[in-house]
């Protein structure tokens, strides 16, 4: 049998995807429509009860909190990334490589370790509070951990590179002669930015926003470590269903619901962007 | 030369009436990180003039243009536009517009939005913007293309959009930074004619940067030849070509035989209206004794370079003739180019000279290896002091 080269080259990737992406996904779908086993696990009988439970008012705050945090964190990432990415894009070519490396270096350390570092920084007896006490700024330690804000901080911190890099890639491609052209055509520096740089950086903004926005609801380590129990997000809820409550069908249903929600959101966003362009 | 001495010189000599000048540069100098890019440049462009800045890459012509546009600020000197010094005014507040080398069209805007950009930035009324955009499209013959994006246009069309985008603002001076460089040879030729015609029609002063001497000769009313940040010579194309004042200009503009030699005789011509004109005899290495005229006060022993254009050399089979200078040679190579024939001619000394003659079917093309005499008049060579 003669298999074309293109197909043969695609085979390993296709096999990988089938084995480690499609198969588990199919399993999740299957589990989500089964019944919960009495002592955890799954009872292989068709039941759609898990989907009904998603709409339980009990979980509404979890979903709305996740959405709000994701939106806020994405917006903050955009605001923080733009100056950094812009600065990187205007560096000399070799310095740009160093800058990209610096952005990537935190990834060499596990996210959990980095989150513990944040706990150490923000905690009651942490770096900030003890430094403030030492400088006489305030005496009673500030309660910074285990709040929405500390979770937001952690989310922005953890996801910033996912915004910086695509935005940098888009800015790096801009022909800076276009800014000269805009300035020559009576645009002030601010107008040149708004009319030329910003529209041309849009592909990077879109890619970065999608990366950040879609991965935040799935994050459970950050809300867990920096937020505590009362700042739970969808990711924590799913993790709980699997590891604590041992209600796999509900956990699976939640996962699929989240996937669908993100998928629809991204699709609608891209469609609207395309219509605007 | 200092800024002050330039200022004095301006006052001392009767200069152009101010209202006839579009732009005037006085003592403009600029360095980048201590490396001088432009040294004390003085030049002025008249209203409606097509002015070319010609020079090899790195000669400072683009830096000069960018200073006129306002993208760079000079370290010293004045840029006078409409009677005021704009040397330190930002680009968006100067009445000049630029056509960029690679056009710099906004890729996210349509043709008409590109053309309207400057007009909208200046907050012109909507109907005025629409009127001028239409006018601009007509000037560059792109009516019907207004809805296209730059990537949907050919190189020539992109260049037209860049032109329209600049001229609709009716600038005092239009700056063009090697606008033909990105076009192919054939298109470049037709765009040259079109550009010249357009400039005539709209009557805006052009400052045109190029490294292509053919382009400068064809298009410009006047040319400033630049080298190493200095203006070497300013003049009409004919002046630059006929009377180069340095070996650099002679070599860069057109093709020239540069003959190094020593003055052996100098005779002041009396009764000439232009005073100090001299007839000199120069001993040129590998060529022999050559007669020439010069306005320079050269004495025997002075080292000079003679610049002799290939088309000034006459070829004849016999050594007799009325032209003062005569050398025997052998045709090394004859290149037939249609309208012209180019010759590489080898002298007895081994030295090679270039000659060029108009092709005519009545005259035969000299064969390679043929013995031939080169002749030229004393006034055909320009004398350049070393």
- For the ranges B17-21, B39-43, B59-63, B80-84, the lowest mean pLDDT is seen at B17-21
Interface of A with B in 185-244 (CB under 8 A): 185-188, 191, 195-196, 199-200
Identify which has the larger pLDDT, A273 or B272: A273
Which of B249, B191, B246 has its CA nearest to residue B223? B249
Mean predicted confidence (pLDDT) in B272-284: 79
The Cα A238–Cα A250 span in angstroms is: 8
Candidates B69, B106, B122; nearest CB to A196: B106
Q: Which CATH number fits domain A57-276: 3.40.190.10, 3.30.365.10, 3.30.413.10, 1.10.3720.10?
A: 1.10.3720.10
The string of DSSP codes covering A222-245 is HIIIII-GGG--HHHHHHHHHHTS
Chain centroid to CA A271 = 21
- What is the pTM assigned to this prediction? 0.81
Q: Name residue B115's beta-bridge partners.
A: none
> In this predicted structure, what is the pLDDT of residue B3?
38
- pLDDT tier, B1 (very low <50, low <70, confident <90, very high otherwise): very low
Mean predicted confidence (pLDDT) in A254-271: 91
- Residue B155, token pair as written in the block: 């190189």
Mutate to test the interface with B, among A176, A180, A185 (most CBs of B within 10 A): A185
The string of DSSP codes covering A27-81 is HHHHHHTSEEPBTBSEE-S---HHHHHHT-GGGHHHHHHHHHHHHHHHHHHHHHH
Q: What's chain B's Rg over C-alpha atoms? A: 25
Chain centroid to CA B40 = 19
> In this predicted structure, what is the pLDDT of residue A39?
77
Cβ–Cβ under 8 Å, residues A43 and A34: yes
Residues 6+ apart with CB under 8 A from B116: B129, B132, B133, B168
Residue-wise pLDDT tens digits, A32-88: 998 888 777 788 888 888 898 888 888 898 899 999 999 999 999 999 999 999 999
E strands within B143-277? 173-177, 205-210, 222-227, 230-235, 257-268
The continuous run of DSSP H or E covering B116 comes out as helix B111-121
* Contact assignment for B71 to A195 by CB distance below 8 Å: no
Query: Mean of the per-residue pLDDT values for chain B?
Result: 89
What is the least distance, in Å, from the CA of B194 to any CA of chain A? 23
> In this predicted structure, what is the pLDDT of residue B271?
62
- For the ranges A38-52, B78-92, B159-173, the lowest mean pLDDT is seen at A38-52
* Contact assignment for B92 to A196 by CB distance below 8 Å: no
* Contact assignment for A195 to B98 by CB distance below 8 Å: no
* Contact assignment for A185 to B70 by CB distance below 8 Å: no
Interface predicted TM-score (ipTM) over 0.95: no
The Cα B42–Cα B44 span in angstroms is: 7
Residues of B in contact with A181 (CB under 8 A): 98, 100, 104-106
Mean predicted confidence (pLDDT) in B16-38: 85
> In this predicted structure, what is the pLDDT of residue B362?
83
Identify which has the larger pLDDT, A273 or B100: B100
Mean predicted confidence (pLDDT) in B311-325: 86
- Residue B8, token pair as written in the block: 């004095």
Does the pLDDT at position B9 exceed 60? no
> In this predicted structure, what is the pLDDT of residue A165?
95
Which residue has 């056509």 as its token pair? Answer: B99
Candidates A188, A196, A199; nearest CB to B92: A188
Residues 6+ apart with CB under 8 A from B143: B134, B137
Cβ–Cβ under 8 Å, residues A163 and A141: no
Identify which has the larger pLDDT, A58 or B125: B125
Pseudo-torsion of CA A183, A185, A190, A191, nearest 10°? -160
Burial of B12 (0-12, 13-18, 19+ CB in 10 A): exposed
> In this predicted structure, what is the pLDDT of residue B373?
92
Residues of B in contact with A188 (CB under 8 A): 92
Residue-wise pLDDT tens digits, B44-84: 999 999 999 999 998 999 999 999 999 999 999 999 998 88
Residue B85 neighbours by CB distance under 10 Å: 13
């Amino acid at each position: 049998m003669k298999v074309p080269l293109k197909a043969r080259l695609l085979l390993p990737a296709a096999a990988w995807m089938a084995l480690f992406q499609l198969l588990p996904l199919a399993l999740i779908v299957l589990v989500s429509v089964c019944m919960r086993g009495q002592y955890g696990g799954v009872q292989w009988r068709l039941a759609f009860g898990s989907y009904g439970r998603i709409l339980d008012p009990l979980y509404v705050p979890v979903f709305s909190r996740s959405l709000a945090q994701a939106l806020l964190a994405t917006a903050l990432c955009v605001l923080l990334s733009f100056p950094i990415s812009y600065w990187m894009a205007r560096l000399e070519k070799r310095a740009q490589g160093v800058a990209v490396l610096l952005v990537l270096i935190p990834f060499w350390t596990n996210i959990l370790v980095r989150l513990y570092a944040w706990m150490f920084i923000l905690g009651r007896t942490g770096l900030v509070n003890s430094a403030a006490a030492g400088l006489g700024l305030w005496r009673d330690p500030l309660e910074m951990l285990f709040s929405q804000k500390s979770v937001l901080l952690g989310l922005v911190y953890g996801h910033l590179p996912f915004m910086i890099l695509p935005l940098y890639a888009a800015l790096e491609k801009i022909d800076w002669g276009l800014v000269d052209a805009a300035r020559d055509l009576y645009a002030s520096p601010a107008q040149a930015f708004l009319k030329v740089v910003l529209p041309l950086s849009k592909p990077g903004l879109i890619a970065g926003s999608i990366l950040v926005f879609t991965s935040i609801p799935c994050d459970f380590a950050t809300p867990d470590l920096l937020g505590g129990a009362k700042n739970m997000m969808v990711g924590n809820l799913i993790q709980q269903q699997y590891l604590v409550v041992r209600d796999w069908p509900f956990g699976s249903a939640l996962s699929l619901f989240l996937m669908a929600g993100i998928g629809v959101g991204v699709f609608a966003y891209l469609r609207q962007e395309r219509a605007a362009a | 030369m200092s800024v002050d001495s330039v200022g004095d010189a301006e006052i001392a000599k009767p200069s152009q009436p101010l209202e006839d000048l579009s732009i005037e540069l006085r003592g403009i100098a600029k360095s980048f990180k201590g490396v001088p890019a432009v040294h004390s440049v003085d030049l002025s462009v008249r209203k409606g003039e097509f002015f070319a800045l010609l020079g090899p890459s790195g000669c400072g012509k683009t830096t000069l243009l960018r200073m006129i546009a306002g993208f760079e600020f000079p370290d010293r000197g004045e840029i006078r536009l409409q009677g005021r010094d704009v040397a330190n005014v930002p680009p968006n507040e100067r009445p000049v517009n630029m056509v960029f080398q690679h056009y710099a069209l906004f890729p996210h805007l349509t043709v008409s939005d590109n053309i309207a950009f400057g007009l909208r930035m200046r907050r012109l009324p909507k109907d005025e913007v629409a009127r001028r955009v239409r006018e601009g499209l007509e000037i560059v013959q792109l009516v019907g293309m207004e809805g296209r994006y730059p990537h949907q246009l050919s190189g020539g069309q992109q260049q037209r959009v860049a032109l329209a985008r600049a001229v609709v603002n009716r600038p005092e001076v239009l700056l063009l930074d090697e606008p033909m460089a990105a076009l192919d040879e054939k298109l470049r030729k037709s765009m040259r004619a079109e550009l010249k015609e357009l400039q005539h029609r709209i009557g805006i002063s052009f400052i045109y940067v190029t490294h292509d001497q053919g382009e400068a000769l064809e298009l410009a009313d006047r040319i400033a030849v630049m080298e190493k940040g200095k203006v070497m010579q300013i003049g009409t194309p004919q002046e630059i070509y006929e009377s180069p004042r340095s070996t650099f200009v002679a070599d860069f503009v057109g093709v020239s035989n540069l003959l190094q030699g020593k003055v052996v005789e100098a005779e002041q011509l009396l009764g000439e209206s232009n005073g100090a004109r001299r007839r000199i005899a120069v001993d040129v290495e590998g060529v022999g004794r050559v007669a020439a005229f010069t306005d320079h006060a050269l004495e025997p022993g002075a080292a000079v370079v003679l610049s002799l254009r290939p088309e000034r050399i006459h070829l004849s089979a016999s050594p007799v003739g009325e032209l003062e200078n005569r050398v025997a040679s052998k045709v090394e190579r004859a290149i037939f180019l249609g309208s012209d024939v180019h010759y590489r001619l080898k002298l007895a000394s081994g030295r090679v000279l270039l000659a060029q003659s108009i092709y005519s079917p009545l005259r035969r093309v000299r064969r390679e290896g043929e013995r031939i005499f080169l002749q030229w008049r004393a006034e055909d060579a320009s004398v350049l002091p070393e």
